[in-house]
Copies of this chain bind each other. A is one copy, B any other.
Amino acid sequence: MIGVFDSGVGGLTVVRALMEHLPGYDIVYFGDTARSPYGTKSPATVTRYALEDARRLLAEGARVIVMACNTASSLAPEVVRQTFGVPVFDVITPAVEAALAATRNLRIGVIGTRATVLSGIYETRLRQRAPGCRVYSAACPLLVSLVEEGWLRRPETAMITKKYLLPLKTRGIDTLILGCTHYPVLAEVIQRKVGRRVRLIDSADGLARQLADFIAGPAGKDLNLPQTGRHRFLFSDLTDHLAGIARRLIKGHLNLELVRT
């Protein structure tokens, strides 16, 4: 199976893209809702959680790990790869590639959780690929809470988004990486506040294409991933409120399973 984990429900936006690009492939999702969010926590704690999440997915039969969480992806893909020796896909790489393909003026903005922004991963990776590019980052921690409250169209959300984006807008960016799986659901208000000419980059689609290419290639074929169309959604905690957000993100009915940590 394809194993996907996230700190909570945000990674379901990635699962939706995987379902579109890899229909029929079995997917097991784990959302660590008992310990979410990750984006406010320290690198040591996030790394430990990422290892535990990957171990759980492997125990459930995953042969490929997708880190749908930007915070975990910014800190832990190498240690997960080295610990378990399985193919690991993170959400940073596809966003970096898509941003470099989209930018014309090489001024790229990045928004993410505090942990993601403090890690400096996007700057490092963008500058490795395009040494001349300028990267401007802003931590937007409240956007996660606003999405989890379902405040997608409220004026307060628009005000807070505007405040966060203003420093990036004044830098003249032409491309903005949505460096947190929660942000794509706010794409409309983000686009309005950062300006119509700025291209928004979301990892989900690029990641799904990258994984589809891998699966079609020789290493992917060797894995012999099952294609019975089975999708499982495991969470370390469940409330009615969370289940409602999960169903909205995946745009359909979900059978949510509670698992003990």
Seen from chain A, the residues whose Cβ lies within 8 Å of a Cβ on chain B are: 33-35, 40-42, 45, 114, 141-142, 145-146, 148-149, 151, 155-156, 159-160, 163, 236-239, 241-242
Contact = CB atoms under 8 A, between A and B. Distances in A.
A51 to B, nearest CB: 14
Nearest to A154: B163
11 contacts: A34-B35, A34-B41, A40-B241, A40-B242, A42-B237, A42-B239, A114-B239, A142-B149, A145-B145, A156-B163, A159-B159
Contact of A241 (B33, B114, B146): B114
Contacts of A142: 142, 145-146, 149, 151
Nearest to A163: B156
Contacts of A163: 156
A238 B156 CA distance: 30
A237 B41 contact: yes
The number of times this chain is found in the oligomer is 2
A130 B82 CA distance: 62
Contacts of A241: 40, 114
Contacts of A160: 156
A104 B142 CA distance: 38
Contacts of A237: 41-42, 45
A141 B145 CA distance: 8
A109 B34 CA distance: 29
Contacts of A238: 42
A156 B159 CA distance: 7
Nearest to A115: B239
A191 to B, nearest CB: 20
A162 B196 CA distance: 31
A237 B49 CA distance: 12
A241 B33 CA distance: 22
Contacts of A145: 141-142, 145
Contact of A156 (B35, B149, B156): B156
A151 B160 CA distance: 11
Given A33-B41, A142-B151, 17 more contacts: A34-B35, A35-B35, A40-B241, A40-B242, A41-B237, A41-B239, A42-B238, A45-B236, A45-B237, A141-B145, A142-B142, A155-B159, A156-B156, A156-B159, A156-B160, A156-B163, A159-B159
A156 B114 CA distance: 19
A45 B236 CA distance: 9
